Structures are given as structure tokens and as C-alpha cells.
Amino acid sequence: MNLAPLLKIPLFRSLDEAELERIFAELKTIETRFKKGDILAMQEESCNRLIILLTGSVTGEMADEAGRVTKVEDVEAPSPIAILFLFGAANRFPVQVTALEDGTAAVIPRVSVLRMLSMNEVLLKNYLDISADFATRLSNKLNMMSLNTIRQKLAVWLLGLSKRQGSDTVVLDKTKSALADYFGIARPSLERELTAMQRDGLIAANRKTITLLSKKALAEAMTK
């Protein structure tokens, strides 16, 4: 198996190829080849193996009980799939994984992953970091979603962005459509609230550029 592409993914960061070869030599790893349209994992199927996409790309689709499917995410090689659902009591694939094009993947049984992580502390740290980052993003998004009003979401978002960008004038890093999606609201609703916040003197907005006029007022808007 060609391990070179693996070095590019965060899970194997800081490992050299020799080390990686040593690890893989000890593991029961299967390399599989798949064709466009193949199903790599069924939704709700027990997630008892780590699938690492080596070449090609896949899509994750979630099917509801009525049979309708919604696309959740596309993943391109090289990248592991569903790394966070490998462990835990309810370890099932949250989505159905379907190949978008021909490709190859390495499949590692769960026990082998455990073994692999015990063998190398750097690898273990990478795995834990990835899990933690994922949990942090999830947690942040959840906090955002549990805010009641659009103004609250915008206030939190803007203050955070201002802190990250180190300036009172922030530049949105996504389109407003994408931002509305992230917030789980309709685009015109977001626009309307931005307009209202300008009217109320909280911000000045010009397309993707927004100036925070009163952080104090924004902090208040965040909570009530």
C-alpha cells in the first residue's frame, strides 16, 4: 500500500513514513478498491472500522424513515471517515457513505485502531486533538443555535469574529447565504436584522465589511 498520501492528513501529522510503515505492518489493514456509486457504509450500520480514503471522493447522505435523502458532507482523499463515531456505546455510521468516483481506501478494524493509538504517542495525541476539535466546533455551533433571536446570534458571531480578527472592523469569511445557513435561518431574515442593527446604531455594514460601533451594546444584545 502506498502510505505517502496518508502523511498529508492531520491524523498522521508529525509521523515519518518509516514509522507509519512500521505501524501499518503490525495491523490487520485491508486496502479496498471501489467504483463510483459503491456504498462504503450504510447508515446506522455498526461503525466498527476506520475507513481512510486514499484516493477518490465520497459523499455522506442521511436518509430519513420516509426514504428521502439529504446530503450532509463530501469528503475528498486523503481523509479518514467518521473518525468520531468509531468508539462509544452507540457507534453507528450517522450517514450512508457513497463513492462519488472510483478510488481506494484503507480499512482498519476498531481493535487495530486502538492498538495503533497505543503504539505511538504522537498518533494518539493527533487522534485526541482531532476529536477535541470536532467536539469544540460542535459545542460552539450548538451554543450558537440555542440562542433565541437572530440579533443574539449576530452579536455573538460578530464579537467573536472581532476578537479573532483583532479589529473592530470585521470582514465576513463566508457569504451571507452561507452564514444564514450556518445560523439555520433564512437569508432575508439575516439581512433584515443586519439592517435593523444598523438602524439601532450597533454596527455599520457594507457588504462583507462590518464595523462594530458599540461593543457594549452588542454585548447586551447578546443576552437579552
Beta bridge partners of 92: 46
Selection from DNA, a second copy, none that 213 binds (CB < 5 to 8 A by kind) is none
Taking residues 137 to 176 in sequence order and writing x for each that binds a second copy by CB under 8 A, - otherwise, the string is -xx-xx--xx-x----------x-----------------
Scanning residues 94 to 123, which ones bind a second copy (CB under 8 A)?
94, 114-115, 117-118, 121
Contact call for residue 200 and a second copy (CB under 8 A): no
Residue 171 in contact with residue 208, Cβ under 8 Å?
yes
Report the interhelical angle of 176-183 vs 187-199 (nearest 10°).
Answer: 100
Query: Interacting stretch for DNA, rule CB under 7 A, among 24-32, 100-108, 135-143, 190-198?
Result: 190-198
φ, ψ for residue 149, nearest 5 deg: -100, 160
Residue 55 in contact with residue 9, Cβ under 8 Å?
no
Asked whether the bond before 5 is cis by omega within 30 degrees of 0, the reply is: no
Contact call for residue 215 and a second copy (CB under 8 A): yes
Distance CA(64)–CA(49), nearest Å, equals: 24
Residues near a second copy (CB under 8 A)? 64-66, 68, 84-91, 94, 114-115, 117-118, 121, 124-125, 128-136, 138-139, 141-142, 145-146, 148, 159, 184, 215-216, 219-220, 222-223
